[in-house]
Chains A and B, each alone.
Chain A
Amino acid sequence: MASASAPPAVLMRGITKRFPGVVANDRIDLEVREGEIHALLGENGAGKTTLMNILYGIYHPDEGEIQVRGRTVVIRSPQDAIRLGIGMIHQQFRLVPTHTVTENVVLGMKQGVLFREREARRQIEALARHYHLEVDPDARIWQLSAGEQQRVEILKALYRQAQILILDEPTSMLTPGEIEDLLKILHRMKEEGHTLIFITHKLDEVTAISDRVTVLRQGRVVTTLETAKTNERELAQWMVGREVLFRLTKPKNTAGEIVLRVENLHVDNDKQLPALKGISFAVRQGEILGIAGVAGNGQRELVEALIGLRPVVQGSITLNGRSLTNMSSRERIEAGIACVPGERMTALVPGMSIAENMILKAYRQPVFGKGGLLDRRAVNAHADRLIAEYAVITPGRETPVKLLSGGNIQRALLARELSSQPSLLIVASPTSGLDVGATETIWRILLEQRQQGRAILLISEDLEEVMTLSDRVAVLYEGEIMGIVRGEEHNLERIGLMMAGALRLPREEWV
């Protein structure tokens, strides 16, 4: 720990940043001490990321001053920031998918004419060992899980000798196990004398790892606290400005007929290696089946196989008794499968209006125009109805979806998927990246749908989400289901063991 008289690692004073129509940062003061882990807590849109983008030189403040280690600096670009020893891990990774880990780490660095790959590779391996960042330096990025990609991003920053590291919602893409690993890595970095700024809206992460926390609300700093002297409830109040409900209770509900049945499903991943090794489960009407598991254990492949974007190697998928196994994605949509995928933007056209996005799957229906024509009036009416019904906050139906907030995008997506009255709704990581309020809304919608008898398959790496919503929980580990148990508190330990691969329930004990 640095002595109290040492200058802070980062001092931001009176930072103001305006965007058209909003003040993203309003006279913000932030002090980050040398060698501490400083959490930046706030809901989506509170201005956390903007502030850090300013520190990293991506944005430029309209007003205010920045000091790094006591020296006033002007940071014009990320290159300036890197020269000052500042690194940033963005929420969306900035990696070249077709390049190797090594190539990505050294990309953009000043070096000789020749790329001395072996030398770079050796250094990266040494760094990885030192900080416990296990990753294969020769793997290509697209082959890696989110957790592994994040490690590459951290390696990139360390390779550039970052002393001050900004992490923008680093856990939003990670599974519980990966989060634990990440927190260990961060502790290790702190021991090595790094200063860390940790953007998050998750209270448990703040208390688990930070030394101090600064809370932002609507572009302003509301307080800075010593983490040890506060608690989650108090932090939540600072963050949202009101008391929040933490637990939703799922009302009693009896499950009906089997809607989806998956038998002995085998699916390969992009590398043509088995991703799902013969899994079987069923989802009934009025029930939420949660698929828990650490990311990269076959979740993505499962979703893609169900909606018809990935071939089934062996096994069968049946919906309401009809075999879907050899159907195209379009036939499956028409058969009654709806899906909100984990990567939201693959289910939307960001540059197109809400109205046009709301018909992405339904446009073929005759209501939206006969004989191949598109009836704009019907399209608009449909959009207006969904916007009103699901309370999507938007200036209008003509607004491009890319301008909506994460919570509103998710609400619009759910609205669209449910508007077809599907037999089965698949939702993957439905609240990742969303703030407390938006999460609560999404959860409520899902529980309401369950009450109305919808069959829901929930695939999530967020264990709290799985436990809150699911009637039954299946645990996916290395492409196999380790067991299916009731989604009740007392099963938490067994679920955790199954997620780690340490427990496999015999088939007859599955529920």
Chain B
Amino acid sequence: MNLPRLRVERRLSTSRLTSTLALVVSLLLALLAIGLVFSSLGVDPIYAYRRILRGGFGSLYGLGESLAKSIPLLLTGAGLALAFRARVYNIGAEGQLLLGAIVGGGIALNFGHWPRGVLLPVMFLGGFLGGALWAAVPALLKARFRVDEVLTSLMLVYVAGDLVRYLVYGPWRGPEERGFPYSSRFALAAQLPHVEGTRIHYPTLLLAVGLAVLLYLLLERTKLGYEIRVTGENPAAARYAGMNTDRIIILVLLLSGGLAGMAGVGEVAGIHARLSPPEGISPGYGFTAIIVAWLARLNPLAAILTAFLIGGLLVGGDAIQVALNLPAASIYIFNGMILLFVIAGDVFTRYRLRLELRS
């Protein structure tokens, strides 16, 4: 019985240092675990990491791509951070994003003759409403009947996917697409401008950064943000203080859904210029944004950074797929591992481990 023992004890409080340290250590451990996966695939993990970093951040092209991918991640992730702060677990941002793409795309296809300065804002507005509408279903079910929003929002992702599929295979299929499941190309007025030589649709980028800052200010500097935080930390106290918690639950769900919807508009109007099957519109940005929000510790401002980081990892992942001939899913293993470790690492901000030597 001379083995040292590990003890788990609850922390009285968490310092910023502990919190940051837990995050860094979690990320390192995640990299270590992913390294094992790479090794098992016969790839030198160090080499793979270098390729990922180089792919995502090592060149102007890579940086541009990373930034382009960080746009939907930021819009969606900042909204999710807000919802998660109220302990409303909207897992269905992917579906809300697709609804935004449908509504924005529908407007683009039907009103292509409108001037750009009117058309694009209307598309974003429509996308917001579409995403919010999709989130309204779990919102009302939760507020009215206490149905768990995790399930309902997630299930609606598949409904949204099939809705997109129905449209691009059916009524919205472009006549000139020769049977392929695509809509017609959007009119020029419905396409977002890019930073020269990249796919960065900068109006959406500016919108995303602006909204992230606004959401941060909303949480920290407004009465509504205070209500959201109180509702998340102790709903009983919120009701006791006369707050309408149902209204807050509905509001954060609609907002997070709306932001995801705008991300969908950004993708179809900024990258693809048409509607395509759901996998073509978003490679799971709505889910990856959950990682963005958690990595940012549910702080919308920090999400600006984490969205860029995860965007870079996605680009780097694409790069190693090609360069090392790895299966496409490996970057999702990568992301999934990171989320797993970050959430697990959270435990250490609340508990401490003590090594005890005994004789």
Contact = CB atoms under 8 A, between A and B. Distances in A.
A330 B221 contact: no
Interface stretch (B38-46, B66-74, B173-181, B231-239): B231-239
Given A76-B5, A350-B234, A352-B229, A374 B241 contact: no
Contacts of A347: 237, 240
Contacts of B356: 60
B225 interface: yes
Contacts of B223: 363-364, 368-369, 372-374
Contacts, number: 77
B7 A60 contact: yes
Contacts of B122: none
A143 interface: no
B241 A352 contact: no
A329 B12 contact: no
Contact of B241 (A19, A76, A360): A360
A349 B237 contact: yes
Contact of B12 (A19, A309, A376): A19
Contact of A346 (B222, B240, B242, B244): B240
A400 interface: yes
Contact of A374 (B221, B239, B244, B358): B221
Contacts of A356: 226
B230 A349 contact: yes
Interface string B208-229: 0000000000001111111001
Query: Looking at chain A's contact residues, is the secondary structure mostly helix, strand, loop, or mixed?
Result: loop
Interface in B104-135: none
Contacts of B233: 349-352
A372 B217 CA distance: 12
B256 to A, nearest CB: 19
B242 A372 contact: no
Interface string A309-333: 1000000000000000000111111
A76 B9 CA distance: 12
Contacts of B239: 309, 329
A307 interface: yes
B140 interface: no
Interface string A24-42: 0000000000000000000
B37 interface: no
Contacts of B221: 373-374, 376
A225 interface: no
A307 B239 CA distance: 10
A374 B225 contact: yes
Nearest to A308: B242
A20 interface: yes
Nearest to B354: A60
A187 interface: no
B325 interface: no
A341 to B, nearest CB: 7
B243 interface: yes
B241 A403 contact: no
A356 B221 CA distance: 12
Given A332-B242, A359-B226, 12 more contacts: A309-B239, A330-B242, A331-B242, A345-B234, A349-B237, A352-B229, A356-B226, A361-B242, A369-B222, A372-B224, A374-B223, A400-B13
Nearest 5 Cβ contacts at the A-B interface? A330-B242, A329-B242, A346-B236, A360-B241, A349-B233
